[in-house]
C-alpha cells in the first residue's frame, strides 16, 4: 500500500484561486458604483445587500424576478463575446418585473465557473452594470463561484435576480384588459435571449459566413445583439397613459406570452404584416425552414414587449413611446374568444 503524500495542499492546488476572486471584487466595485441610486445602503463586499424601500409609496409591493441567459452563452464561449450577455441577464429579469408595473430597484448576479478568468468575468459584469444603468436599478451585490470540475475550461453560467416596487393599487395583472383594446408592439433588438437552441441548430446546418451583413451589422453581431431594455420608456408611458397590460415576449414567443396577461374570455388577434420583418428573422426562417406557427411560438419575431391600451389612448401611447426613442407598431386588437379558440392568433 502506498503511503499518502505528505505534501501540503492549498485551495489553489484544488483549483480555487482566492487571489483571483479578490481581484475580481476590486474590478467590480467601480462598475457597481456606476449603478448606484437612492436607497442603496452599503456597498459590494458585505454578506448581504441592503436597500431601503423608496419613500412616497402608500402601499409598496415588492416584485421579484429571476432568469438566466440560456444557451446563448454557448455562442458567447465559441465567439468570445462576453461584454453583452450581462445586458441580456439584467433585461430578462428587469423587463419581466416591469410587466407587473414595477420599477426595478436593484439587481444581484450569480457567476459560476470552473476556473476564474478575471478578464472574462470583469467583461461579463461590465455588461451587467450597463444593463443596470439602462434599467435604472442598482447592482447591489452578487456571488462569484469558482467550482473546479463543474464547468469546462472557458465556460461559465449566469443567473440574475431583480427586485422592484409598485404601488399596490397600480399593479398590472391583466384584469383591466377589455374587448376592443388595442395591442401595441415595441421592436426587439433581435432574438434577445430565447430560442437559441434552435438558432444554434440552424447555424450548424447552414454554416454561414458570420461576417455577412444583416440588418446593417454582421450576422454574428445581429445574433448576439443584447436584449432590449424597455424599463425607462414604459415607466414614462405609464405616467401619461393608462396601460391595461404588458407582456414581455420571451420563451414561448408571441403565442404563449400574451395570454398570460389576458382574461380567459378574450383573444389577442395580431396581424403579422403590421410590423416589419427583420433580415435576421428572415435568415432564421429561410435557413431553418421554420414554419410560420413555429416562428411565432419560439421567437419574439421582432416584437419584444407588448402593450395593451384602450383604443382611445393608442395614438397618444404611440407618440409617447416614439418620443422615448422606441419603434412602436399597432399590431392587433383584443376581441371576444370563442369556445375552444386559441388565446393568441397571429394572422399572416
> What pLDDT digit, counting tens, does each position of 285-308 carry?
999 999 999 999 999 999 999 999
Out of 63-67, 143-147, 160-164, least confident range: 143-147
Q: What is the pLDDT at residue 131?
A: 97
Integer CA distances (angstroms), 140 to 31, 111, 136, 235, 285, in order: 11, 14, 12, 21, 40
121 pLDDT higher than 70? yes
219 pLDDT higher than 90? yes
Q: What is the pLDDT at residue 41?
A: 87
Q: What is the pLDDT at residue 167?
A: 97
Give the phi and the psi of residue 49 in degrees, each rounded to 5: -100, 135
Mean pLDDT of 127-136: 97
49 pLDDT higher than 90? no
CA 1 from centre of chain: 56
**DSSP H stretches of helix in the chain:** 18-33, 72-79, 85-98, 118-135, 196-206, 219-224, 231-240, 253-257, 279-288, 292-298, 314-323
pLDDT digits (tens, 9 = 90+) for 251-276: 999 999 999 999 999 999 999 999 99
Q: What is the mean pLDDT of the chain?
A: 93
pLDDT digits (tens, 9 = 90+) for 60-113: 999 999 999 999 999 999 999 999 999 999 999 999 999 999 999 999 999 999
Task: Report yes or no on whether pTM surpasses 0.75.
Answer: yes
Q: Which domains are delineated in the chain?
A: 18-170 (3.30.1330.10), 182-347 (3.90.650.10)
Pairing of strands 217-218, 213-214: antiparallel
Integer CA distances (angstroms), 265 to 90, 118, 175, in order: 33, 53, 11
Mean pLDDT of 116-134: 95
**Alpha-carbon gap, residue 76 to 198, rounded angstroms:** 16
Amino acid at each position: 500500500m502506498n503511503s499518502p503524500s505528505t505534501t501540503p495542499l492549498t485551495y489553489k492546488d484544488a483549483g480555487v484561486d482566492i487571489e483571483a476572486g479578490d481581484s475580481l471584487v476590486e474590478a467590480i466595485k467601480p462598475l457597481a458604483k456606476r449603478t448606484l441610486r437612492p436607497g442603496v445602503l452599503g456597498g459590494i463586499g458585505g454578506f448581504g445587500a441592503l436597500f431601503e424601500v423608496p419613500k412616497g409609496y402608500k402601499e409598496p409591493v415588492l416584485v421579484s424576478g429571476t432568469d438566466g441567459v440560456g444557451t446563448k452563452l454557448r455562442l458567447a464561449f465559441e465567439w468570445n463575446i462576453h461584454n453583452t450577455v450581462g445586458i441580456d441577464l439584467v433585461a430578462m429579469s428587469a423587463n419581466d418585473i416591469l410587466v407587473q408595473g414595477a420599477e426595478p430597484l436593484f439587481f444581484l448576479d450569480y457567476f459560476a465557473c470552473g476556473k476564474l478568468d478575471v478578464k472574462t468575468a470583469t467583461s461579463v459584469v461590465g455588461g451587467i452594470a450597463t444593463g443596470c444603468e439602462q434599467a435604472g436599478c442598482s447592482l447591489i451585490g452578487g456571488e462569484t463561484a469558482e467550482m473546479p470540475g463543474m464547468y469546462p475550461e472557458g465556460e461559465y453560467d449566469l443567473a440574475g435576480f431583480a427586485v422592484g416596487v409598485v404601488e399596490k393599487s397600480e399593479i398590472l395583472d391583466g384584469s383591466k384588459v377589455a374587448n376592443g383594446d388595442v395591442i401595441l408592439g415595441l421592436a426587439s433588438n433581435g432574438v434577445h435571449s430565447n430560442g437559441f437552441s434552435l438558432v444554434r441548430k440552424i447555424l450548424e446546418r447552414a454554416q454561414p459566413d458570420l461576417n455577412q451583413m444583416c440588418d446593417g451589422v454582421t450576422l454574428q453581431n445581429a445574433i448576439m445583439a443584447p436584449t432590449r431594455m424597455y424599463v425607462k420608456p414604459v415607466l414614462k408611458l405609464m405616467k401619461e397613459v393608462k396601460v391595461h397590460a404588458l407582456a414581455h415576449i420571451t420563451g414561448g414567443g408571441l403565442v404563449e406570452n400574451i395570454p398570460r396577461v389576458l382574461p380567459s374570455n378574450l383573444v389577442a388577434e395580431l396581424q403579422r404584416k403590421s410590423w416589419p420583418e427583420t433580415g435576421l428573422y428572415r435568415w432564421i426562417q429561410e435557413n431553418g425552414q421554420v414554419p410560420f406557427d413555429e416562428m411565432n411560438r419560439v421567437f419574439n419575431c421582432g416584437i419584444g414587449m407588448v402593450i395593451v391600451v384602450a383604443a382611445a389612448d393608442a395614438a397618444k401611447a404611440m407618440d409617447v413611446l416614439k418620443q422615448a426613442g422606441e419603434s412602436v407598431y399597432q399590431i392587433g386588437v383584443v376581441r371576444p374568444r370563442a369556445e375552444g379558440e386559441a388565446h393568441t392568433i397571429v394572422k399572416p
